[in-house]
Amino acid sequence: MTGSLLDPYTSLVERLADLLSEVTGADRLEVWRLIQPPPREEYGDLGFPLMRYARRAGVDPSRAAESVSEGLKTSGFQWVSVELAGGYLNVKIDAGVLASELAALYSKGWRPRVPGAVEPLRVVVEHTSANPIHPLHMGHARNTALGDTLARLLKARGHVVNTRFYVNDAGLQVAYLVLGLRLAGIRDLRREAEKLRLKVDELAGWVYAVTHTSIEAVEESRKVKAGEGDKARLEELAMVLAKLRESDPGGFFDKIFHGIESIESPEAAVQEIMRRYESGEEPERSEVRRAAEAVLEGFKSTLSRLGVSFDDWDWESDLLWSGAVSRILEEARRSRYHTIYKGAEAIDIPKIIKELVEPDPEARKAFKLPRTLEVPPMILVRSDGTTLYATRDVAYTLYKFKAFNADKVINVVGADQRLEQLQVRLTLLGLGYRREALNTIHYDYEIVRLPGRRMRSRRGEAVWLDDVLEEAKARALEEVRSRNPEAPREWIEETAEMVAVGAVRFALVQTSAPKPVTIDIDRILDLQENSGPYLQYTHARAAGILAKHGPIDWQAVDPEACKEGGRRSLLIKTSRLPLVAAKAADDLAPEDLATYLLKLADQFNSWYQRDSVIHEPDKGARECKALIVYHFKENLALGLNLLGIPAPERM
RNA sequence: GGGCCCGUAGCCUAGCCAGGAUAGGGCGCCGGCCUUCGGAGCCGGAGGUCCCGGGUUCAAAUCCCGGCGGGCCCGCCA
């Protein structure tokens, strides 16, 4: 079963963690995380701050080092040496042995893999969850790229992962779309889009923007006539409408706009659609569903380009119709934290904090509450009795735990929804769902901005993901074609698509999640260093070298030749990938993997330039170099796959 | 007003959680490398008050306190 074997480097680190944990009595995971390459290569290949831990455990550091050294020897790691220096336990690897062992593995068709977590969990990752009213924009794309990469990392780490998309069909937004479709006379969104040769979500987005903006404009203009409106705002809206009218795909604009003008209270009409939908009345029930489903079709086609799919699609309305939301409401009413706030039914969050979080160290840690933050009560229902988003989210979070029998639920949601997410988790705690509350993670990331302004998709002001992908593909196409003039059309097309996906996905995960990101299309589409295509190119280059070299004679790899500085360094650096990925999974930090891959590719590129593989006259050395290239390519491919980036053999 | 996040060369970014040696990359700029495995590359150069001020420490980009700047949140919106 070579498929489940770890590479020797990763096994070494795992064994080292066992031994260090035994010797110091420290937590194995904590120890494992701290085993890292020292700042300088001459110190060794791996280091651990043993002094700190030995002292804490009351053990003599040099004795501890000795016992670790013996432990390694007896478990088959005779090829490493251990020394204590500057408070650190440093480990030096015999690169020759590492190379031989890798050659033996690869000769049997083995492939690198991420070491499994000690405790595999069942994890739900909910991400993207865009309103089904317009195409996915670059804001959603960051969510998608982060969420999908997290799911891939967690899976690779041995967790059982379930990805879910939450369809927000019980909000006013879809009602706007439905009203617009009615006025435009569009019965079947999908067929209409087909007829107009538009993507279905694109057509929906236009209708939605026109409807929403028209309503705003009509309401504002009525106010102005009554002498209390904002004229500047009205003018701005008129300009937006003029632009939308220009992009009218099929003579719908006037129908929608005048239709809205003729309605006494358009906002009330929208609310009425929603009210009827929530209570499951026809025709709204099928109208809303059909519209939302059509838009989701559009999402799916965009997402599949990015290699993203979902295990489950959850409809907010199903939570209402199944009674899950009313059950939560009942529980809330029976709870001792039920209260009245501003005249509405609410959950007394401050009381939950005081009674359930502050005395509970585990909860305090999980919630990381600021010292003086006063989280307001969470209102459960409107005075008209309908539920609010947050209430439904409480029901949904519980549903996710139940539906997948999950140990952990990760919600990839923008940082702007921090307070709401906190309220939801605290409400769960208050209702007695402590395990769920403590194991719900709000994976927050800073939202994407356009240069100088926020995206306002309700006005049609957003950068659509489809457009960015198309533009990326167009640029890649030009590049690929000029490099491969003789290649078949189809191949060029496929390759350009891979490059486009690589460019977009990499750009969206390389910056750490809490940093705000401003969309700069030119930067995303930059195919040079520090980019997805750079990694892909490096992969293709390694593949090219191997193709030219031909099959590797694994037995002929000369271990001594692998000890030469540049080769040794690359061999060992490459071997880190599985551990870097494992750590990125544990830390929920895809950007760490992205950063590592860039550095690794840099090192490969500068090495291969100096140390020719194919022109190496010595057979043993040549096969050693081929092994290094192969090792590099396999690991890079694994890393790219975890980021959802295709790894082309040629480009 | 309160809270959270961010602040590292002209621009973008790593390092910060677990303090330690010349703060790594990239874009752009300047100069080299196509008879040598793929130039989406390689080699070299210029460019830095790590936002500011205190504090802790033998040692601070990193930890603590106080500011400043930007963003977000504090809805019977989602």
| ipTM computed for the complex | 0.94
- Nucleotide B72: closest residue by CA–C1': A416
pLDDT of residue A3: 45
Å: A214 CA to B39 C1': 54
Q: What angle do CA A123, A127, A133 make, to 5 degrees?
A: 150
From the C1' of B21, which residue's alpha carbon is nearest?
A39
How many angstroms separate the CA of A597 from the C1' of B24? 14
Task: Tell me which protein residue sits closest to nucleotide B13, measuring alpha carbon to C1'.
Answer: A511
Estimate in Å the CA A469 to C1' B31 gap, whole number.
37
- So what's the pLDDT on residue A372? 65
Nucleotide nearest to A174 (CA to C1'): B78
Q: Which nucleotides of B are covered by protein (CB under 7 A)?
A: 2-7, 12-15, 17-18, 20-22, 24-28, 36-43, 70-78
Q: Are strands A312-315 and A160-167 parallel, antiparallel or unpaired?
A: parallel
Residue A60: what pLDDT? 85
Write the pLDDT tens digit of every residue in A223-265.
888 888 888 888 888 999 999 999 999 999 999 999 999 999 9
Element (H, E) at A64: helix A61-74
Which residue's CA is nearest to the C1' of nucleotide B71? A516
What angle do helix axes A172-184 and A200-225 make, rounded to 10 degrees? 90
Angle between helices A50-57 and A61-74 (to 10 degrees): 110
Describe the crossing of helices A389-404 and A418-430 by its angle, rounded to 10 degrees.
60
- Short-list A312, A296, A294, A302, CA closest to A144: A302
- How far, in Å, is the CA of A237 from the C1' of nucleotide B26? 41
Closest CA to A501 of A530, A478, A472, A479: A472
Between the CA of A372 and the C1' of B66, what is the distance in angstroms? 17
Token digits of residue A28: 């194995």
- A543 nearest nucleotide via C1' and CA: B38
Helix (H) / strand (E) element for A470: namely helix A465-483
**Nearby residues of A643 by Cβ (< 8 Å), 6 or more positions away:** A149, A152, A505, A506, A509, A532, A590, A593, A594, A597
C-alpha distance from residue A127 to each of A51, A107, A144, A306, A336 (Å): 43, 40, 6, 14, 33
Instruction: Give the model's pLDDT for residue A1.
Output: 38
Q: How far apart, in whole angstroms, are the C-alpha atoms of residue A584 and residue A591?
A: 8
- Residues β-bridged to residue A440: A409
10-residue stretch averages of pLDDT, chain A, 651 residues long: 74 93 88 86 85 81 90 93 85 94 96 94 97 93 96 97 96 93 96 96 95 92 86 88 94 96 92 90 94 97 97 96 94 95 92 91 84 82 86 96 97 93 95 96 87 68 90 93 91 96 95 86 86 95 95 96 92 95 95 95 93 92 96 97 97 92
Dist. CA A127–CA A149, nearest whole Å: 11
Give the amino acid at A557.
Answer: V
Which nucleotide comes closest to A171 if you measure CA to C1'?
B78
Nucleotide nearest to A172 in CA–C1' terms: B78
Side-by-side strand order, sheet with A88-93 = A46-48, A88-93, A80-85
pTM of the predicted structure, to 2 decimals: 0.95
CB-CB contact of A559 with A99 (8 Å):
yes
Residue A4: what pLDDT? 61
Map tokens 């899950």 to a residue. A324
User: Which of the nucleotides lies closest to A447 (Cα–C1')?
Assistant: B72
3-state secondary structure A156-177: HCCCEEEEEEEECCCCHHHHHH
Read off the amino acid at residue A196.
L
Give strand letter and number of the nucleotide nearest A380 (CA to C1'): B76
pLDDT of amino acid A629: 97
CA A211 / C1′ B75 distance in Å = 23
Structure tokens at A3: 């498929």
Give, in Å, how far the C1' of B55 lies from the CA of A306.
50
Distance in Å, residue A155 CA to nucleotide B40 C1': 31
- The rounded distance, in Å, linking the Cα atoms of A520 and A200 is 26
Helix A565-575, helix A619-642: angle, nearest 10: 30
Say whether the peptide bond before residue A283 is cis (omega within 30 degrees of 0): yes
CA A508 to C1' B39, whole Å? 27
Beta A344-347 vs A338-341: how paired, if at all?
antiparallel
Residue A588: closest CA among A447, A448, A444: A444
Place of tokens 């290239």: A629
- CA dihedral sign of residues A173, A419, A316, A145: positive
Q: Which nucleotide is nearest to A39 (CA to C1')?
A: B21
